[in-house]
Amino acid sequence: MSAPARPARAGLAAALAVLATVATDAGMALRATGLEPLAPSSAAAGLALALALACAPAALAGLIAGAIEPAVTALARRLGWRGAVISLALALLAGVALLATRDREIDWDTLDVRLGALPCVATATALLVWRRGGAWLRRGAIAAMLLALVAAAATTVRDRGAGPAVERLRTHTWLVAPALTRAAGVLDRDGDGHGGWLCGEACDCDDADAQRHPGRPEIADDAVDQDCDGEDLSADEQHDFAQIFAAPEPAPTTAPTAPALDRPDIVLITIDTLRADHLGTYGYVRDTTPRIDAWARGAVVFEQARSTGPSTRFSIPPLMVGKYFTEIARNRNEWPTISDKETLLAERLHGLGYTAAAFHSIRYLWPQYGLDQGFDHWSIDCITERWPPLRMSCSDFITDEALAWVDAHGRDSSQPLLLWAYYGDPHSQYVRHEGHKNFGPEYVDAYDDEIAFVDHHVGRLLDGLAERRSRPKLVVLLSDHGEGLDAAVDHGSRYHSANLFDELVRVPLIVSGPGFPARRVQTPVSLVDFVPTILELLGQPSDPQLRGVSLAPWLRGEDPPHPPVIFEKHRALDDPQHGMIAWPYKVIQRSSGGRAQIFDLSADPGERRDLAATLDPAERRRLVGALRHWHERVRQPFDDEMRH
C-alpha cells in the first residue's frame, strides 16, 4: 500500500467502524429480546435514523484517523507490527483483569452484552477495511451513508409510525441516545426539548410553539391543547383527577375506634432485591421461604404491594421519610444523602420513648447517606468485615449481630424497641452456601438459593426475639425492589433500576401484630404507606406532609379504598418515568411525554399486552390524565433537575 493511500484507508476504516457499531447498537435495541416487538417499518425507520445520526461522527472519526495514521504507523514500525498488536492485547487484558479483580465488584452476569459486542464490531470492521478495503469498499461506504440519509428522510421525518422506534433508541442504546439528544436540541425549532422532526405529532404537535408539547402541563378550559393529547383539559376532568388522589374518608361505623397499640416493639425486616413472586406465600412453586411462609400464615399478606421505585435509592428513603423520592430533600450525588431537614421514622419514635437500632449489609446504608437520623445504634459492621459487598454473605451476621445487641442492650422489655434488620444477600452477585439449599446451576437457581439462605436467618431472628423480648411485637417484612432474572421474560432486563415493570416494583409486604387477623389483602398499596401506618397504630396524629395513607384499616380487617399507587424512576442515564396502579390497570409514562403503556394486571399480570392503542379512549384518557395530574400537580419535587 502506498504511503498516500494509508491515511485514506485509515479514515475509511474508522468511519465504517463507527457506522457498523452504531448499526449494531441500534439493531440490538430495536430487536431486543423481551421488549415489545416493533413493526418492521418502524424498526427500519429507527435503524435509518441511527445511521443518519452516525454520519457526522463517522466522518469526524475518519478525519481524525487519517490525520494520526502517519504517527501511528511510525510507532508501529518502531515496535514492529507484531509488537504493537501484542502491546495492545496486553493492555486490554490488563484492563479486563483490573475490572475483574477490583474488589471483585463486577457481576458479569448482569453486564449488557453490548459492552463487549460494540468494541468487537468496531475493531473487526476497522481491521477488515484496513486489510481488505479497496475502491469498491470506498464507493460502497459513500453509497451507504447517502442511502442512510435518504432512508431517514423518507421514513422517519414527520412519520408518526417511527415514534416507538425513536423511544426505543432513546432508552435502550448506548451510542445513539446521546446523538439523538444532541440532534433533537439542534433541530428543535421552538426550543421546548421536543423535536417534531423525529416522529411528527407523536413527539411534538406544534414545533413552532414552545408552550405546546407532550411534556407540557395542561391548563384547564383555555381552548389550547398544551400537552398534545388531542383534547383540551376540562375543569371537571381536573376535579375528578384531584378526587382520585384524595385520601380515603374513614368508613362510617357504629363500633368504637380500635385503640392504639401500647408501644409494641417494631421489627422491620428488609430483604434487598426480593421479588414477591419468589416467596411461597405469594404462590412460588419452590420451597424458598419455609420460615417466612410459616410466619405469614398468621399475618396480613398484602398481595399487591409496590415499591416506590425500581432500586434502593428510590425506595428506602421514601420508606423512612414517608414522601416520594423526588420530593425528598437530598444532595446531587448518584446515591443521594438525605438532608437532615427531613424527619425520619426513628426521629418520630424518639418522643414515644423508643430505642432504635439498625443492622445493615448494603452500602447505601452507610451513615453518611443520612438515613441513620434518629437511630441510637447504627451498624454497617458486616460490610466492613466481609468486604467486598457484592461477594459477601451477611444474613447470618445480621441475625447474630441483632440478637447480640438485644442481649447487651435490649433485655429491658419495659422500653419499646425499633429494630431494623436489613438482609442484602439476594442482591447479585449470588453466592452458594454450603449446607443450605441448592436449587440448580442456573442464574435463577442461584437467586433462589440466596432467598432460602436469608429465609433461614430471618427465622432465627424471629425465634431469637421471641425468646428475648416479652413485649408485644409489630413485625413488618418487605423488600426495597425486585429483580430482573431473565431478559427474555423480564422485559429485556436482568438486574434492576431499568424500568417500572412488576418484576422490579412488586414487592412482598407482610405484617403481623397484636389484634391483626390473618388475611390476604388484594388492594394495591405502597411502601410509602409505612410511616403513616406506624404513626396511626401508635395513636399519633397524621402529618399532612406524608404522602402515603395508613394501612391500619386493612390490618384490622377492613377494606376501604386506597388512592392509586405511584412509583417512579429518576436516573441520570435515561428519561424519568412515572407509574401508577389504579386497579386493575397499570400505567407507565415517561415524564418527557412519549407513549404511555397500559396493562390490565388482573388479566395480564406479566404485563405482556399493552392496551394503550386498543383501550376505550375515554378510559385511556382517564388513566393517563390521572398519572399526569399526579406528576404535575400533586407531586412536589424537591429539585426535578436532580437525577440519580
What pLDDT does 202 receive? 66
pLDDT tens per residue across span 516-567: 999 999 999 999 999 999 999 999 998 999 999 999 999 999 999 999 999 9
At residue 257 the predicted structure's pLDDT band, cuts being 50, 70 and 90, is low
Asked whether the predicted pLDDT for residue 199 surpasses 70, the reply is no
Instruction: Decide if 452 contacts 484 (C-beta within 8 A).
Output: no
Give the residue, 494 or 151, on which the prediction is more confident: 494
Instruction: Decide if 262 contacts 417 (C-beta within 8 A).
Output: no
String of DSSP letters for 326-354: GGS-B-SSSSPPBPTTS--HHHHHHTTT-
pLDDT tens per residue across span 470-514: 999 999 999 999 999 998 899 888 888 889 999 999 999 999 999
What pLDDT does 255 receive? 47
Chain position carrying cell 438525605:
338
Range 632-636 average pLDDT: 93
Range 212-240 average pLDDT: 86
C-alpha cell at 255: 363500633
Give the residue, 527 or 410, on which the prediction is more confident: 527
At residue 158 the predicted structure's pLDDT band, cuts being 50, 70 and 90, is very low
Spatial distance between the Cα atoms of 336 and 321, rounded to a whole number of angstroms? 14
Asked whether the predicted pLDDT for residue 323 surpasses 90, the reply is yes
Torsional sign, CA 327, 246, 599, 631: negative
CATH of region 265-561: 3.40.720.10
| Range scoring the smallest mean pLDDT among 34-48, 150-164, 239-253, 469-483 | 150-164
Spatial distance between the Cα atoms of 502 and 483, rounded to a whole number of angstroms? 9
What pLDDT does 159 receive? 47
Domain boundary assignment for the chain? 5-188, 265-561
User: Checking DSSP bridges between strand 355-359 and strand 377-379, what pairing results, if any?
Assistant: parallel
What pLDDT does 592 receive? 61
At residue 249 the predicted structure's pLDDT band, cuts being 50, 70 and 90, is low
Range 232-253 average pLDDT: 80
